[in-house]
Amino acid sequence: MDTLYLRRRITNAFALALGTAATLFGLAFLAWILWATLRQGIAALDWKLFTKITAYGDQGGLSNAMVGSLIINLIGIAVATPIGVLAGTWLAEYANRTRLGESIRFLNDILLSAPSIVMGLFVYTIIVLPSTVLTHGNTTFSGFAGGVALALIALPVIVRTTDEMLRLVPSTLREAALSLGVPQWKLTSQILLRAARSGIVTGVLLALARISGETAPLLFTAFGNNFMTLNPLDKMSSLPQVIYQYANDPGDTLHALAWAGAFVVTLFVLLLSLTSRLLLSRKVSHD
Amino acid sequence: MSTSPAATAIPEQRATRDARHDRLFAGLLKACALIVLASLLGAAFATLWGGREAFGTFGWHFLANSAWDPGNQDYGALVPVYGTLATSFIALLIAVPVSFGIALYLSEVAPRWLRTPVASAIELLAGIPSIIYGMWGLFIFAPFFAEHIKPWLTNYLGNNPDDGHPSWVAAHVPFVGKMFASDYPFGASILTAGIVLAVMIIPFISSVMREVFQTVPTRLKESAYALGSSTWEVVWDIVLPYTRSAVIGGIFLGLGRALGETMAVTFVLGNAMELSSSLLDPGASIASTIANQFSEAVGLQKSALMALAFLLFVVTFIVLLIARMMLRRLASREGR
């Protein structure tokens, strides 16, 4: 009897200790990765990062990549936000509990973690290839194509948050408006979407955080460009793509620049996701 | 209803207008929702279409062929498929117990004030872009692995340790010696990629586990405690069986991530298009092969890469489908 009791206690203590160790293991990796990025990134920070373009190689900076990232991300968000918000609205307001609605909601959840490199190849097939043929090779890879690829990754995030946020809106609001004779499109666009606005904005920010670090879908869509360009129909470089290229370079002179870029991207993404999470938790706890 | 014709005409007009607007609005919304569907189907068809030449040339043999030879125009999916499955499997092998430990710690062991900050910190890992994992893996972890972990593995588990005699484990357990034999001096390998992937998917799996652990009714746990169960027994015998389907769903979600991950793997896999029995040798995954070769590939090679992408998409789709169905099962039992 006593030995059984002792054995159970030991098993328990052992399991709980292992759980604690697992948590420390996870936290250690987090600290290790952040520390590496911070140390190497700050060491490589320099003004020329923001003023010079990548064409100068190790004497240059990343300014064209930063501008490119900004443009591509903006295109991605600009394409994904209206489509995502409207689709999410349809799921929450029009197709809740219908068969088609449930299947699209389900497939959207799958799209949320679909491999991003396949999305890049998809956009390559539907935008890069046709534009090459139509313009006789004048326009091949483009910042626009990169933006669309990122939009496909941002889309499910925005659809999901919009859907969830709208379903949090109390149904008394709908009933009150409908009983006053407000048509459904007006109710949806002017009352419900307004009520869920802050949640939807958070979803868009989360989507932006998600796509800002994406590299794989940009390799065959925006491709990269060593010079500054503001034309979305040009090949365009982006921070993650330049980091990928520089980190893979056999010489180490470019590695410092890659770390600096990595630092900038990580800082941006983490700040963005922290802010949106903070907004989200405040929103949910109030409701 | 004795109103004048003029008075009824206005509301009626308005009603038809509203009805028309309603239909238009609903149609617009539905079209946007269908775009979600279209992008999934489109990605599948686009890669299938792009890979038609490779599928047509090689047929089913494509799946079993370990060659990847641009010189002879001979391509097979076996090496990248093996690399994808092996790295993901290693990642799960590490990530599942660790994630379970984290969920156990956060839901039962940690003091209340510590739970939210630690959980957010772990979730921060999920927010780090995969290219950062890749860089960390390439510049920090792979050298560390080559210097500290790999020699230990080859010496104690491998076939050809430094002193020339196979280790005790290699001599007594089949396959293990081959799995950990390597004379390749660098850190990039299938095992390294698996470990980096594990770190990447730990936050996904652990946050699902933690969330579903919290859905277990308190009275169920309290009944077990009242009967004298220890914390571990409550988690293992009550919480885990109750949440089993969702836990499996969370694991599959992590698997889906691991299968399709590109950047973190590409940096630390070594990108060697040959089959090796050792986990310490470099390899290739589907995503890393595409990332490395697609921009320079033409003709049949490009088609073979598209065919690989199609395979990856189909496999991840199935894995994620299972994941979502498993997750949904618990939700529906709760009546959510």
Q: Chain B closest CA to A195's CA: distance in Å?
A: 18
Q: What is the pLDDT of residue B271?
A: 86
User: Quick check: B10 and B3 in contact, CB under 8 A?
Assistant: no
Q: Assess whether pLDDT exceeds 70 at residue B333.
A: no
- Is A8–B100 a contact, with Cβ atoms under 8 angstroms apart? no
Q: How far is CA A170 from CA A47, A193, A285, B255, in A?
A: 51, 12, 15, 36
Q: What is the pLDDT of residues B173-210, one digit of tens each?
A: 777 777 887 777 788 999 999 999 999 999 999 999 99
Instruction: Determine the residue of chain A that is closest to B292 in CA distance.
Output: A219
The per-residue pLDDT of chain B, averaged, comes to: 88
- Residues whose CB falls within 8 Å of the CB of residue B139, separated by 6 or more in sequence, listed in order: A36, A40, A247, A255
Overall average pLDDT of the B33-37 stretch: 93
pLDDT in tens, B250-283: 999 999 999 999 999 999 998 888 888 888 889 9
Read off the pLDDT of residues A59-76 as tens digits, 9 standing for 90 and up.
Answer: 888 999 999 999 999 999
Shortest CA gap A272–chain B (Å): 10
Asked if A110 and B321 come within 8 Å (Cβ–Cβ), the reply is yes
Q: Is residue B10 within 8 Å of B16, Cβ to Cβ?
A: no
Model confidence at A285, pLDDT cuts 50, 70, 90, reads very low
Give yes or no for residue B1 having a pLDDT over 50: no
CA distances from A232 to A130, A157, A167, A217, B67 (A): 16, 24, 37, 16, 39
Dihedral sign for Cα A76, A79, A82, A83, please.
negative
Q: Give A19-30 as a DSSP string.
A: HHHHHHHHHHHH
Mutate to test the interface with A, among B13, B21, B36 (most CBs of A within 10 A): B36
Q: Where are the alpha helices (DSSP H) in B150-189?
A: 150-156, 168-172, 176-179
pLDDT reading at B170 higher than 80: no
Quick check: helix, strand or coil at residue B283? Answer: strand
Q: What HEC string does B95-133 produce? A: HHHHHHHHHHHHHHHCCHHHHHHHHHHHHHHHHCCHHHH
Is B294–A119 a contact, with Cβ atoms under 8 angstroms apart? no
Q: What is the structure's pLDDT at B154?
A: 81
Beta-carbon separation of B312 and A113 below 8 A:
no
pLDDT band at B336 (very low <50, low <70, confident <90, very high): very low
ipTM of the complex, rounded to two decimals:
0.91
Backbone φ and ψ for B57, nearest 5 degrees, come out as -70, -45
* A220-279 confidence digits (pLDDT tens): 999 899 999 999 999 999 999 999 999 988 878 899 999 999 999 999 999 998 888 788
Per-residue pLDDT tens digits for A145-201: 999 999 999 999 999 999 999 999 999 999 999 999 899 999 999 999 999 998 999
Measured distance CA(A194)–CA(A184) in Å, rounded: 14
Render pLDDT for B206-221 as a digit per residue (tens, 0 to 9): 999 999 999 899 999 9
pLDDT value at residue A260 = 93
Count Cβ atoms within 10 A of the Cβ of residue A56 and give its class: 0-12 exposed, 13-18 middle, 19 or more buried: exposed
Token reading at A249:
């370079």
* Inter-CA distances, B199 with B134, B158, B278, Å: 11, 25, 22
Q: What is the per-residue pLDDT for B82?
A: 94
Q: What is the CA radius of gyration of chain A?
A: 24
> Is B169:B157 a contact under the CB 8 Å cutoff?
yes
Q: Find, among B286, B262, B38, the residue nearest to B131 by Cα.
A: B262
